[in-house]
Structure 1
Amino acid sequence: MSKIDEYACERSMRDSEFAKEAVQDNMNLEVAVQVRDLRNSLGLSQREFAKLVGKPQSTIARIESGSMNASTKLLSEIAQATNQKVKIEFMSI
């Protein structure tokens, strides 16, 4: 475990608000990687991908940076535009 992981774990135990934000940030980063990987697999730039899904390029950039909490509606729109499906899964931690 890295020092940053240790810090996050320690702080999460002491600060429930930090723990909630850390979980949300982690989900945003997982979505960011998935969307970027999808775009790259299609061989598209952010601008081309945004046009395909009918969103501004800035929205795609925010998703891919992990700074945006993408809704299931938005992810569904991306999936439909790219002939994919969204799979949501609950997993034990």
Structure 2
Amino acid sequence: MSKIQKFIKKDIKRHPELKKEYEQVDLNLDVAVSVRQMREDLGMTQKEFARYVGKPQSTIGRIEAGLMNVSIGLLNEIANAAHRQVKLVLV
């Protein structure tokens, strides 16, 4: 377990109300990594990728920074425009 994971676990024990916020941040970062990887696989800058998928560059930037709670719908729109699919796995 990493230091940050230990910190988060300890912080949630002290402040259980933060659990949902930490989970949202974790999800946002997973989406950020996936979108950035897709863009890099296509060899595009954020500006080029944004134009390619029909979204503002600021939206792509916020997603990649993990600052945006991306809906499944928006993620699906981006994936479809990039000729990809979203696969949701519940564990």
| TM-score, normalised by the number of residues in structure 1 | 0.92
Write the distance in 1 (CA, Å) between the matches of 2:78 and 2:48.
13
Structure 1, unpaired ranges of 5+: none
Write the distance in 1 (CA, Å) between the matches of 2:39 and 2:45.
7
Write the distance in 2 (CA, Å) between the matches of 1:19 and 1:38.
29
Q: CA RMSD, aligned part only? A: 1.0
Structure 2, unpaired ranges of 5+: none
1:1-93 correspondence runs (5 A): 1-91=1-91
Where do 4+ consecutive residues of structure 1 move more than 3 Å?
none
Write the distance in 1 (CA, Å) between the matches of 2:5 and 2:76.
31
Write the distance in 2 (CA, Å) between the matches of 1:4 and 1:35.
23
Pairwise CA distance, 1:3? 2.8
Write the distance in 2 (CA, Å) between the matches of 1:38 and 1:2.
26
